[in-house]
Amino acid sequence: MTQPTPSQPAICDYEGSTYRADFWEGKGRDYEDAVERLILRRFLPRGGKRYADFGAGFGRLINEAAGFEEVVVMDYSRTMLQDAQARLGRSDRFIYVAADLYKLPFAANAFEAGLLCRVVHHLADAPAALRQIRNGMAAGSTFVLEFANKLNLKAMLRYAFRRQAWSPYSREPLEFVRLNFDFHPAYIREALRSAGFTPRRRAAASWLRLGLFKKVLPLRLMVSLDRLLQPLGGMLPYAPQIFVENRIEGAPTALVERDQLFKCPITGAPLHREGDVLLSTEGNPRWAIRDGIYDLKEPLS
Ligand SMILES: C[S@@+](CC[C@H](N)C(=O)[O-])C[C@H]1O[C@@H](n2cnc3c(N)ncnc32)[C@H](O)[C@@H]1O
């Protein structure tokens, strides 16, 4: 756990974590993975120039960006990025970036599509991270956000029958475990709007996320039922997971070229590459590129 400073919220640090093996592989979450992909295929553009998966982890969902020419795989954890790189390979198409969502190193007009999935629930200051993401998205772009929903059916029933003290109807985020938050849909909508996004379609997922259903129902049936229920997320957002499709208003803007993609996360100055270092015209701070990963977490000393 990276400790907070006055200007920096604490970070849920996955460095060295075995998230892929511990959470996904052989862990009975094929249903969750499948229903998330159904929504991404509806909400993300089919292709384009440059896409970013913010908090991409080991790159689980990168193949949903197959139609994009360049894909930024960004995460705070270097080891997660190494895992992503081992799975996806070191091609020119993938740009691996270690950085902090609270201090993103991307120029304006960097992306025409972006995703934040299973990440905002770790953010103590979600509005700050959304503002950072917004800064890199071009006019006309699409940004898809997934969040863990405190206004879900189970929580509503437990609250009604006095089995839980906290109210699913109150708007403030619920930190149920340190650096793990559930959000009210209205709180997220407000945070998206204040960051400069226009929320559009909403979908709800993982309606059947119960051990009992997983035991008795075939996976294909569960996924088909979820697909039918997902559009309810617009009017009745009561599933454990919500996805929001957002737009940046305005006529589509040309994206910056690849050699102008980065800015200094500390000073905001444009960065250019010299060998395996990124630096600004003023010189310092400088940032390393190590084994194909742009390291914009800590400057070179
Ligand atoms: C639960 S994993 C989700 C990974 C991937 N999006 C997925 O759906 O499989 C959460 C990821 O968020 C990243 N993360 C958490 N806080 C972050 C921050 N402040 N900046 C960048 N990444 C962060 C973690 O390193 C981790 O890889």
36 is a domain residue: yes
- Specify the amino acid at residue 95: I
Residues 287 and 299 in one domain: yes
For position 283, what pLDDT does the model report? Answer: 74
Taking the centre of ligand 1 as the mean of its atom positions, its distance from the CA of residue 121, in whole angstroms, is 9
Percentage of the chain lying above the pLDDT 70 cut: 98
CA dist 168 and 174 (Å) reads 9
1 is a domain residue: no
For position 60, what pLDDT does the model report? Answer: 98
For the segment 39-50, what is each residue's pLDDT rounded down to a tens digit?
A: 999 999 999 999
Taking the centre of ligand 1 as the mean of its atom positions, its distance from the CA of residue 295, in whole angstroms, is 16
pLDDT band, residue 4 (cuts 50/70/90)? low
- Which sign, positive or negative, has the C-alpha torsion 198, 240, 183, 150? positive
Which of 122, 123, 295, 296 has most ligand 1 atoms within 8 Å of its beta carbon, as the pocket-test mutant? 122
Question: Which position has the token pair 């405190």?
Answer: 150
Taking the centre of ligand 1 as the mean of its atom positions, its distance from the CA of residue 118, in whole angstroms, is 7
The phi, psi pair for 126, rounded to 5°, reads: -60, -40
Query: What is the distance between the terminal CA atoms of the chain, rounded to a whole angstrom?
Result: 23
10 is a domain residue: no
For the segment 110-128, what is each residue's pLDDT rounded down to a tens digit?
A: 999 999 999 999 999 999 9
pLDDT band, residue 1 (cuts 50/70/90)? low
Mean pLDDT of 259-266: 97
For residue 120, give Cα distances in angstroms to 66, 116, 217: 24, 7, 30
Residues 208 and 99 in one domain: yes
222 is a domain residue: yes
The phi, psi pair for 191, rounded to 5°, reads: -65, -40
- Is residue 2 pLDDT above 80, yes or no? no
Residues 199 and 270 in one domain: no
Strands 283-290 and 111-116: unpaired
Residues 138 and 234 in one domain: yes
50 is a domain residue: yes
Residues 76 and 161 in one domain: yes
CA-57 nearest atom, ligand 1? 27
Taking the centre of ligand 1 as the mean of its atom positions, its distance from the CA of residue 264, in whole angstroms, is 21
Residues 297 and 237 in one domain: no
Taking the centre of ligand 1 as the mean of its atom positions, its distance from the CA of residue 125, in whole angstroms, is 14
For position 114, what pLDDT does the model report? Answer: 98
**CATH number, domain containing residue 161:** 3.40.50.150
Residues 295 and 146 in one domain: no
Q: Do residues 106 and 131 touch, judged by C-beta distance below 8 A?
A: no
CA-60 nearest atom, ligand 1? 9
Q: Do residues 236 and 151 touch, judged by C-beta distance below 8 A?
A: no
3-state secondary structure of 289: strand
Q: Do residues 62 and 55 touch, judged by C-beta distance below 8 A?
A: no
Residues 147 and 212 in one domain: yes
CA dist 81 and 87 (Å) reads 10
Q: Which of 51-55, 207-211, 242-246 has the lowest mean pLDDT?
A: 207-211
List residues near ligand 1 (CB under 6 A): 11-12, 14, 19, 55-57, 60-61, 75-77, 80, 100-102, 117-119, 122
Nearest CA to ligand 1 atom 1: 118
Taking the centre of ligand 1 as the mean of its atom positions, its distance from the CA of residue 216, in whole angstroms, is 32
Taking the centre of ligand 1 as the mean of its atom positions, its distance from the CA of residue 160, in whole angstroms, is 33
pLDDT band, residue 282 (cuts 50/70/90)? confident
Please give the residue range of the domain that contains residue 285: 262-301
Nearest CA to ligand 1 atom 13: 55
3-state secondary structure of 34: helix
8 is a domain residue: no
Nearest CA to ligand 1 atom 4: 57
For the segment 213-226, what is each residue's pLDDT rounded down to a tens digit?
A: 999 999 999 999 99
45: tokens are 């553009």
pLDDT band, residue 8 (cuts 50/70/90)? confident
Number of domains present in the structure of the chain: 2
Torsion of CA 94, 100, 106, 111, to 10 degrees: 60
| pTM, rounded to two decimals | 0.96
For position 69, what pLDDT does the model report? Answer: 98
Residues 69 and 107 in one domain: yes
Residues 245 and 266 in one domain: no
55 is a domain residue: yes
**Of the candidates 105, 121, 125, the residue with the CA atom closest to the CA atom of residue 9:** 125
Residues 161 and 270 in one domain: no
Residues 61 and 76 in one domain: yes
- Is residue 3 pLDDT above 80, yes or no? no
CA-14 nearest atom, ligand 1? 25
The phi, psi pair for 143, rounded to 5°, reads: -130, 125
- Specify the amino acid at residue 41: R
217: tokens are 């129902």
**Of the candidates 253, 251, 258, the residue with the CA atom closest to the CA atom of residue 278:** 258
Q: Largest alpha-carbon pair distance within the chain?
A: 63
Percentage of the chain lying above the pLDDT 90 cut: 95
Taking the centre of ligand 1 as the mean of its atom positions, its distance from the CA of residue 55, in whole angstroms, is 4
Q: Which residues, 6 or more positions from 17, have their beta carbon under 8 angstroms from its beta carbon? A: 77, 79, 80
CA-115 nearest atom, ligand 1? 6
Q: Rg for the chain (alpha carbons), in Å?
A: 19
